[in-house]
Amino acid sequence: MELICPAGTPAAFREAVEAGADAVYCGFRDETNARNFPGLNFSREEMRQSIALARSRRVSTFVALNTFMRAGDEALWYRAADDAVAAGADALILADFGLMAYVAEKYPEQRLHVSVQASASNPDAIRFLVAAFGAKRVVLPRVLTVQDIARLTSGIDCEVEVFAFGGLCVMAEGRCSLSSYATGKSPNMNGVCSPASHVRYRQDGADLVSELGDYTINRFGPGEASGYPTLCKGRFEIGDVEGYAFEDPVSLDVIDEIDALRRAGVTALKIEGRQRGKAYVAEVVSSMKRALQAEPAERAALVARLRMLSEGQRTTTGAYDKRWR
């Protein structure tokens, strides 16, 4: 299986290539990219140079244009697709059907991957995307079990990519409205989930309180690890119970499921983390690469240190084996 690695900056891109990535995914510095945060992403020239570097090392580059177009502003997305193709992208990762149609019609030889943001998670949806737009690969949402994936791959003629390590999003990617509700900025259209401009921390006695917009998201006691305030990882009072209603602050780690995912027909494993620094990219990519080449009994030890880089310093297999809430 290919190892697909994140790069939020040219420096992280170089680290991913050096660490052994089979492919690196990245995006432009605008709203076409679902990680549209200040200080991240690529200018057109940086993208061109990075793709050339990757190609010289026989590493592929996938350009993520994975937000949804706004009516009247489609030219921004069309131009980004034009520029990514001109720069030599090996694949475009797309979510919007209109943008898929544009690329398929104008660049029929360009490889098209369906973004996880499209939430394509059943054979009928994927077969449609293959037939309508010539999609070569689909990135599956992080809500399917290994058995679900095996049933799905048996009914499609398309490569399948799944997330293997990093942050979780269980709001059926491409459908989340929580951050939009709290901040007025949409993850799916503006590319910003819990934008930093709306994030605040304040001290309340001995507790650290995190806020997003006008909402209190969490309260951390002395010595308790504090997380970034996203609504899906907020702690709420529900009836008489206080806890994480949607998603615990943990990271995905499927190292124990690698062989099962391979048998299920998975083509590629994807690491999440375009908002993380180059040190994170180097450590995670190199560790995962070694684990993929190792015997099953050796894998856990090879990735054990990655837990320190995870949210809450904890990891989960997520929905893959159904033990996760």
DSSP assignment string, 88-148? T-SEEEE--HHHHHHHHHH-TTS-EEE-GGG---SHHHHHHHHHHH---EEEPPTT--HHH
What is the pTM for the complete model shown?
0.93
Q: Which of 221, 244, 267 is the last residue in one of the domains?
A: 244
Domain that holds residue 231: 195-244
Both 67 and 158 in one domain: the answer is yes
CA distance 156 to 36: 32
Both 224 and 305 in one domain: the answer is no
Both 238 and 258 in one domain: the answer is no
Would 174 be classed as within a structural domain?
no
- The secondary structure element, H or E, covering residue 62 is strand 60-65
Would 12 be classed as within a structural domain?
yes
Would 177 be classed as within a structural domain?
no
Lookup: tokens for 66: 């994975």
What pLDDT does 191 receive? Answer: 87
- SS3 sequence, 142-188? CCCCHHHHHHHHCCCCCEEEEEEEECCCCCCCCCCCHHHHHHCCCCC
Would 279 be classed as within a structural domain?
yes
Measured CA to CA in angstroms, residue 80 lies from 13, 87, 141 at distances of 19, 10, 24
Both 24 and 50 in one domain: the answer is yes
Q: What angle do CA 15, 16, 22 make, to 5 degrees?
A: 150
Residue carrying structure tokens 């690469």: 289
Q: Which of 244, 261, 282 is the last residue in one of the domains?
A: 244
Q: Which of 244, 279, 307 is the last residue in one of the domains?
A: 244
Q: How many domains, the chain? A: 2
Quick check: 324 pLDDT over 60?
Answer: no
- The secondary structure element, H or E, covering residue 61 is strand 60-65
**pLDDT tens column, 177-206:** 888 889 998 888 888 889 989 999 999 999
Quick check: 311 pLDDT over 80?
Answer: no
* Sign of the four-CA dihedral 286, 292, 295, 300: positive
* Sign of the four-CA dihedral 160, 26, 177, 31: negative
**119 within 8 A of 175, measured Cβ to Cβ:** yes
Amino acid letter, 132: A
Both 75 and 157 in one domain: the answer is yes
Both 159 and 210 in one domain: the answer is no
Both 271 and 233 in one domain: the answer is no
CA 291 to chain centre: 20
Both 295 and 234 in one domain: the answer is no
**169 within 8 A of 119, measured Cβ to Cβ:** no
Lookup: tokens for 44: 């057109």
Residue range 38-55: average pLDDT? Answer: 97
**64 within 8 A of 25, measured Cβ to Cβ:** yes
161, burial (CB in 10 Å: exposed 0-12, middle 13-18, buried 19+): buried
Both 162 and 210 in one domain: the answer is no
**111 within 8 A of 136, measured Cβ to Cβ:** yes
Would 112 be classed as within a structural domain?
yes
**pLDDT tens column, 121-168:** 999 999 999 999 999 999 999 989 999 999 999 999 999 999 999 888
Would 182 be classed as within a structural domain?
no
Residue range 263-290: average pLDDT? Answer: 93
Both 60 and 144 in one domain: the answer is yes
Would 180 be classed as within a structural domain?
no
What pLDDT does 69 receive? Answer: 96
Both 116 and 160 in one domain: the answer is yes
Strands 207-212 and 215-220, bridge-based pairing:
antiparallel
CA distance 135 to 128: 9
Would 188 be classed as within a structural domain?
no
Amino acid letter, 206: A
**pLDDT tens column, 234-266:** 998 888 888 888 778 888 888 889 999 999 999
Both 130 and 228 in one domain: the answer is no
Segment among 32-41, 132-141, 189-198, 315-324 with least mean pLDDT: 315-324
